[in-house]
Structure 1
Amino acid sequence: MKILFYNWVDYLDDEKRGGGVSVYQKNVIHELNAEEERECYFISSGISYDLFNNKPRWERVKHGPTENRRRRFEIVNSGVLSPAHHSFGHEVQLDEEETTEAFFDFIRKKGPFDVVHFNNLEGLPASALKIKEHWPETRVIFSLHNYYPLCPQVNLWFQERENCLDFDSGKKCETCLPHHHDERIVRLANAVAFNLKKRGIRPGSRLFDRGFGPSMRLAGKAVRVSNRLFKKGQKPTPKKEGSNKLLKRIEMSHRKYTRRRAQMVKTINTYCDSVLCVSDRVGEVAAKFGIAPALIQTSYIGTRHAEKFEHTHPKPSIVKPDGSLTIAYLGYMRRDKGFFFLLEALEALPQELAERIHVVIASRLIDQPTMDRITALSERFASLLFADGYTHEQLDTILEEADLGVIPVLWEDNLPQVAIEMHARHIPLLTSDLGGAQELGNCKNMVFKNGSTTDFAKKIGAILDGKVSTEDYWKNAMAPHSMAEHLDELHKVYDTKARPIAYLPSAEPKAKPAKKAAAVAS
């Protein structure tokens, strides 16, 4: 079986972009490559650009780690910048003919593939999903690790402050971001970085850091000169018969956002065989916004941390024998992740509770004012330990004394990797009522209303008073999925026959319909 995976950034990216999805992609490809009957390829798009050539093309990855280079590819000069906020809501996210053709040309030359599995769509136009128009027997799988098809901001997270339940026919999208990136500058920066990397100058090195700024200035000047010369030598474009350059279609700007969501959903429903959701909650959100329930299938991602679940055990009590409690936060200092809500909740916690709590925070520091707020907490709490970032190898040490993990997300976070990592070590989780993390423990007494410092304090108080026991938490808890278990699920998804193109009356079915997965969402 020949499988092609797609994500917007190389899973071995030197700059570690792509977060948990890149880690997941690396693990899946590593495991599948160990199976003789599976042959895995990978392609990314929207990051690498030339300085003087805008035509999209595909090529083998020529930079970064040498691992698996013969099967790692990228589209250079994609008409769709990635990640999504670099081309926020731009209509090329729906269709960009040259980029789609470059993607299909790759499939023609390196395929055909039995399965094309999209772990994202950022960096490609939605028209790239129309694989079945050329290869009807190919299974097209789409994994929802975020909400990009439904939301140009990706997270259904409005103005960096609230969960977006209704985009008001696209009107809220117009004011969602405080500013929009200049795509020309982003493209130029990517081109400079791409050319440095191809010459063996890797991100993070002193040479790259010192060379990037001067290279940007030189490249910008060279591109401006090149553009002037190109325009000077251009011949006037002959006017096409029937064309009218005086009249332009006018419409309200929010219309493009309603069109984007509708077209994304229609394309997925038409051309994908299965939409894999990394939690039940993701399936519910997807169905709410129009993804066909018959396509939706929950597929909890596999993790190598699952082995920790076999070698650790629940503590006798969530609260320590001396009546104290150690809570831990892992991850990013971001509003959508609930980090600043957590600071607010801890600052507001009654003193009689705070003095019984030890706090552990492991997160890359973003600025000194945030560090000042963290430091101030040490006056109120039993103790406070802080790590300015961490590696996975350091997790056991960081979490050694943790009794309770906190996942305070303010958006429908699909299923945070940090939640799995703590849960796999038999650390109970106190989560907000958004996203998939609450499904790990499946314990209502350990879920608080998102954004509510009052409900957070109520739940913490109940835990400290012994009203939530270890047995309460673990009796309905889910064991984290191992990579082997997850691969078994993927094999079943991959091995099912492709269905015909859906919802297109003119399409002639060329394969028997696959057995539809049971709907997850109500």
Structure 2
Amino acid sequence: MRVLFYNWVSPFDPEGRGGGVAAYERALVPALSGAGIEAGWLNSGLAQDLRPGPPRWERCAPGQFRLVNARPFAPSHLSFGDPEQISHPPTEAAFAAFLRATGPWDVIHFNNLEGLPARALQIARAHGARLVVMLHNYYPLCPQVNLWFQERESCASDQGGAACGSCLAHPPAPRRRLSLALATALLERGGPGGLRLYRRGTGLWRALRARRSRPGPGGLAALPASAPPALQGRRALMIRLLNENADAILCVSERVRKLSEGFGLRGDLLKTCRIGTPEAARPPAPPRPLLDASGRLTLAYVGYMRRDKGFFFLLDALEQLPADLAARVSLVLAARLSDPALRPRLQALRARLAGLSWANGYQREDLDRILAPAGLGVVPVLWEDNLPQVALEMHLRGLALLTSDRGGAQEPGNCPALVFPAGDIAAFHSRLRAVLQGQITRADYGQGGAAPADMPSHLRVLMQHWQPAEKQPEVALASGGLKAKTPPLP
């Protein structure tokens, strides 16, 4: 079987761009090889020539390909509101030429649509391969990819694109093509070292630009009220192209499946297919008690100091925690400082709680040590986070998870008692009080939950979706409670 994977960035990118999707693709490589599957990896939307030219495809390494000079730019923020997100005939022609030259492919598996015009789905369909799209984010539904309006609230409706037109606090920078072209040239001629210097310089420029345009006390800076024409009906067009061309649309959590169907994607195409992780193959970690021997609770927050991730909600909630609860609650924090102004806040919170330990950034290999004191992980996301990697990392270490009701983080534990309405401080406090009073115990967590699969098991599920319906084999996966399905991470 020959399977072509598409993402806007290569999983072998020397800069390590692409976040969780690229890491997922890298983890999939050994499983694909072990199953005898010939995999190809295509990326688009990043590589640009210094001198503008027509889009073309090129081979980067055995089995690795890219489109150069393609539109739209990637990631999505760089092409926000651009009509090329729907159609760009020169890029579509280059994609078709690539498929003719490297095919036939049995399956074309899109781990993303960023960096390609959505009409590339029609070209992939015409190639004759089985067409599978996996929703790691909400790009077809949201040009910001995360259904997060004006950096402050979850977005339930794009209002036909009008809401999108006033969404961004900071519009895409000018000269995007030139910026990408310089980055491409520096990487090819100077290697990652020269490119890192360039990134630091442009990062500083962006930070200064953002600070100058930072909203004042009254709220967000004034934004254009009218939507660019490309945003009018963008979601409806994306949904139509997916519904008409995809053979299967895979959702990385059940929450994503339900949301996608609600937005109009065909229910018969949508299938829940949670990503696998190599760490799930390790011996099971014992479930950790929620409270320590003295009856105290240690919470753990891992990830980013960002509003959409719920970090500032968590700070607000812990600062407002009643004194009798605060005296019995500690916090383990693993997140890089995003703003020096937060440091005094964290120092004040340390004095208020029973304890606070902070890792200012972390590597995955540090997590065992960092999370050793914790009894309950917290994933308080305010946006519909598809399936947060940090939730899997804590779950696989034997921690129960206290989560908001948004996104897929609640699914590994399947414990409604440890789920609270997103952004509801009073409900968050009530869950903590119930844990401290013994009304919620470790035994309540994980019964029938969706524990992560290892990569070979995940690949077997993928192969079901890669086969036409009449050929799909039955794949038996292990089931059961948390004790049998909570292997540790290294």
What TM-score does the superposition give when structure 1 sets the normalisation length? 0.83
Q: Residues of 2 paired with 1:514 and 1:393: CA distance? A: 38
Query: Which residue does 2:143 correspond to in 1?
Result: 152
Provide Cα deviations, 1:280-326, integer angstroms capped at 9, x if missing partner.
Answer: 10001100111000000000110112135x431113x3111101111
Q: Which residue of 2 aligns with 1:198?
A: 188
Match of 1:84 among 76, 95, 101: 76
Work out the CA distance in 2 between the residues paired with 1:7 and 1:442: 31
Residue aligning to 2:160: 169
What is residue 340 of structure 1 aligned with on the other side?
A: 312
Determine if the alignment matches structure 1 residue 120 to structure 2 residue 93: no
CA separation of 1:411 and 1:209: change in aligned 2, threshold 3 A: closer
Do residues 352 (structure 1) and 344 (structure 2) align? no
Letter in 1 for 2:19: G
Shift of 1:13: 2.0
**For residue 134 of structure 1, what is the aligned residue in structure 2?**
126
Other-structure match for 1:30: 30
TM-superposed CA distance for 1:343, in Å, is 1.0
| CA positional deviation for 1:479 | 2.4
Q: Distance in 1 between matches of 2:259 and 2:132?
A: 18
The question of 1:301 aligning with 2:292 is answered: no
What amino acid sits opposite 1:487 in the alignment?
L
Query: What is the rounded CA distance, in whole Å, between the counterparts of 2:28 and 2:342 in structure 1?
Result: 36
8 Å CA contact 2:160–2:233 kept in 1: the answer is: no
Q: Which amino acid aligns with 1:32?
A: L
Change (3 A) 1:171 1:53: closer
Q: Please list the CA deviations of residues 109-164 of structure 1 after superposition, one character each: whole Å capped at 9, or x if unmatched.
A: 1111000000000000001111355323x100000011100111111110000011
Counterpart in the other structure of 2:251: 277
Cα distance between partner residues in 1 of 2:254 and 2:102: 35
Question: 1:44 aligns to what?
Answer: 43
Query: Is this contact kept in 1: 2:166–2:227, CA < 8 A?
Result: no
Partner of 2:66: 74
Mapped contact 1:338–1:410 kept (Cα < 8 A): yes
Q: Who is 1:408 aligned against?
A: 380
Secondary structure in 1 matching 2:449 = coil
Q: Is the Cα–Cα contact under 8 Å of residues 150 and 264 in structure 1 kept in the other structure?
A: yes
What secondary structure sits across from 2:271 in the alignment? strand
Q: Is the CA contact 2:310–2:380 (under 8 Å) kept in the aligned structure 1?
A: yes
- Counterpart for residue 432 of structure 2: 460
**Alpha carbons of 1:346 and 1:11: their partners in 2 closer, same or farther (altered >3 Å)?**
same
User: Quick one: which amino acid aligns to residue 72 of structure 1?
Assistant: Q
CA distance in structure 2 between the partners assigned to 1:151 and 1:169 by the alignment: 11
In 1, are the aligned partners of 2:290 and 2:375 still within 8 Å (CA)?
yes
1:7 maps to amino acid: N
State the AA in 1 paired with 2:234.
Answer: R
Q: Mark the CA change 1:133 to 1:279 in structure 2 (over 3 Å): closer, same or farther.
A: closer
Confirm or deny: 8 A CA contact 2:251 2:270 kept in the other structure: yes
| Alignment match, 1:469 | 441
The answer as to whether partners of 1:169 and 1:258 remain within 8 angstroms in 2 is: yes
Structure 1 vs Structure 2 CA RMSD: 2.1
CA distance in 2, matches of 1:110, 1:338: 44
Q: 1:89, 1:260 within 8 Å by CA — same for their partners in 2?
A: no
1:447 is aligned to 419
Q: 1:159-184: per-residue Cα shift (whole Å, max 9, x none)?
A: 0000111122222111100131135x
The amino acid that maps onto 2:185 is: N
Looking at structure 1, the residues matched to 285 and 471 of structure 2 have their Cα atoms a distance apart, in angstroms, of 44
**What is the Cα deviation at residue 215 of structure 1?**
11
CA contact (8 A) 2:301 2:379 kept: yes
Aligned length: 451
Does residue 1:95 correspond to 2:67, yes or no?
Answer: no
From the superposition, tell whether residues 160 and 111 of structure 1 become closer, same or farther in structure 2 (CA, over 3 Å): same
Q: Structure 1: which amino acid aligns with 2:131?
A: V
SS at match of 1:323: coil
Partner of 1:267: 241
Summarize the alignment of residues 4-23 of structure 1 with structure 2, pairs less than 5 Å apart: 4-23=4-23
C-alpha distance after superposition, 1:309-346 (max 9, x if no partner): x431113x311110111110111111111111111111
TM-score, normalised on structure 2? 0.88
1:228 counterpart residue number: none
Question: How far 1:513 moved relative to its partner?
Answer: 11
**Contact 1:169 1:255 (C-alpha < 8 Å) held by counterparts:** no
Q: Greater Rg, structure 1 or structure 2?
A: 1
**Partner residue of 1:234?**
none
2:366 to 381, 394, 401: 394
SS in 2 for 1:30: helix
Distance 1:427 1:419, change over 3 A: same
Identify if the C-alpha distance between structure 1 residues 121 and 201 changes in structure 2 by more than 3 Å, giving closer, same or farther.
Answer: same
1:312 is matched with 285
Whether the 8 Å contact between 1:85 and 1:181 is mirrored in structure 2 is yes
8 A Cα contact 1:443 1:476, kept in partner: no
1:437 to 404, 409, 413: 409
AA aligned opposite 2:180: N
Aligned residue number for residue 53 of structure 1: 52
Q: CA deviation at 1:16?
A: 2.3
Q: Please report how far the alpha carbon of residue 102 of structure 1 lies from its aligned counterpart in structure 2 after TM superposition.
A: 1.0
Unmatched runs of 5 consecutive residues or more in structure 2: 204-225, 474-490
Residue 191 of structure 1 aligns with an amino acid whose one-letter code is A
Contact map agreement 2:108 2:124 (CA 8 A) in 1 = no
Corresponding residue for 2:479?
A: none
- Cα deviations by residue, 1:195-244 (Å, 9 ceiling, x for unpaired): 11111421xx2x4444679999xxxxxxxxxxxxxxxxxxxxxxxxxxxx
Q: Pick from 290, 294, 306 the counterpart of residue 264 of structure 2.
A: 290
Aligned-pair CA distance for 1:193 = 1.2
| Amino acid corresponding to residue 286 of structure 2 in structure 1 | H
- 2:486 is aligned to none
* Corresponding residue for residue 239 of structure 1: none
The separation in 1 between residues aligned to 2:199 and 2:75, in whole angstroms, is 20
What one-letter code is carried by the residue in structure 2 that aligns with 1:3?
A: V
Q: Deviations over 1:258-294 (max 9, x none)?
A: 4211110010011110000001100011001110000
Deviation at 1:35, TM superposition (A): 2.5
Mapped partners of 1:285, 1:376: distance in 2:
39
Instruction: Provide, for residues 367-414 of structure 1, a one-character-per-residue CA deviation record: whole Å limited to 9, x for no partner.
Output: 201222222211111111111211111111111111000000001111
Do the aligned residues in 2 keep the contact of 1:131 with 1:140 (CA within 8 Å)?
Answer: no
Looking at structure 2, the residues matched to 104 and 388 of structure 1 have their Cα atoms a distance apart, in angstroms, of: 46
Unaligned runs of 5+ in 1: 62-68, 217-251, 498-511, 516-522
Report deviation, 1:254.
6.0
Say whether the 8 Å CA contact 1:131–1:271 is kept in structure 2: no
Say if 1:58 and 1:73, in contact at 8 Å, map to a contact too.
yes
- In structure 1, how many angstroms separate the alpha carbons of the residues matched to 2:261 and 2:125? 25
Which residue identity does 2:182 align to in structure 1?
A: V
Encode CA deviations 1:410-443: one digit per residue, 9 max, x unaligned.
0111110110111111100000010111111111
Higher mean Cα deviation, 123-132 or 275-284? Answer: 123-132
